[in-house]
Amino acid sequence: MQMDAQTRRDLAGIGWMMAMGFCFVAVNGIVRWLDGALPAPQSAFIRFIFGLVFLGPVLLPALQTGFAPRIWRLLSLRGALHVLAVIAWFYAMSRISVAEVTAIGFLNPIVVTVGAALFMGERLALRRVAAVGVALMGALVVLRPGLRELDPGHLSQVVASMAFGASYLLAKRITEHVPAAIVVAMMSLTVSIGLAPLAWAVWVPPTWGQVGWLGLVAVFATAGHYTMTRAFAAAPLTVTQPVVFLQLIWASLLGVFVFHEPLDEWVILGGAMMIGAITYITWREARLRAAVPAAAE
């Protein structure tokens, strides 16, 4: 029996999303393997310098054309938020397990959902509020404050997730005026500039091996964003979003078999609650968008 066109697109979207998960788990694994050998600002700076090399063909024409002052302010603010986020993330990766970093990172879309309601006027209906509540409960299950001693890495990853979420909100606003590829390229530039003095202040002479591994981080991160874009183009978010949960499974297996980290069932449970809530919000928004054209006919 032949598959119809939509089924083929859905399977392609799932495949691209699985590839994205492998790429981002590879990013986490490499940074975890470096294990804080270099200070977090320096590691992040080297990673984004490689990103600038990849994005140079997009960046140079954009700089020659220029932007309106308001767009420059938004780009600069996003760069500052991303500087905070990547430093906090690199620090968290050197302190806590790969699975915990991945699970807490699922807070990003929740921050985006709440921020869109607070600052962009998007409606936050009761069902979405309930889903956000479930996601926050999932985060508490992962962290378990009061039931165990929290490492600074846990708090650092929470800060990273909130800063990444705020950065994505700004990106959404900027893409109303600037193509997405230029937004990504300008992020690499502004983050590199913001990280430069911080990296210089704590600079430790890196080995060529460390530089090479951080270059590989940039390759996998760029590939992850590319595959995610292909997944979104191929299939609806309601199809691709649940696949994100596999990223937590792979991260947990990587931690167990490569870094000999214990398998924490609470992290899996909390992550499942968070991704379930995110999937519900995505499905609900897709239903609402589909209903609007139908009502207009």
The low-confidence residues of the chain, meaning pLDDT below 50, are 1-2, 294-297
Structural domain spans, the chain: 39-219+265-296
Query: What is the structure's pLDDT at 178?
Result: 85
Query: What is the structure's pLDDT at 62?
Result: 87
Query: What is the structure's pLDDT at 213?
Result: 94
Query: What is the structure's pLDDT at 155?
Result: 94
Q: List, in sequence order, every residue forming a beta bridge with 148; answer none if it has no partner.
A: 145
Report whether 243 contacts 19 (CB < 8 A): no
Query: What is the structure's pLDDT at 247?
Result: 84
Query: What is the structure's pLDDT at 293?
Result: 52
Calculate the CA dihedral of residues 19, 22, 27, 32 and round it to 10 degrees.
Answer: 180
CA atoms within 13 A on the CB side of 245: 16
Give the residue from 7, 58, 42 showing the smallest Cα distance to 225: 58
Query: What is the structure's pLDDT at 88?
Result: 94
Q: Give start and end residues of each alpha helix (H) in 235-264.
A: 237-240, 245-257
Q: Give start and end residues of each alpha helix (H) in the chain.
A: 5-34, 40-65, 69-93, 98-105, 107-119, 126-143, 152-174, 180-201, 208-234, 237-240, 245-257, 265-296
Query: What is the structure's pLDDT at 196?
Result: 95
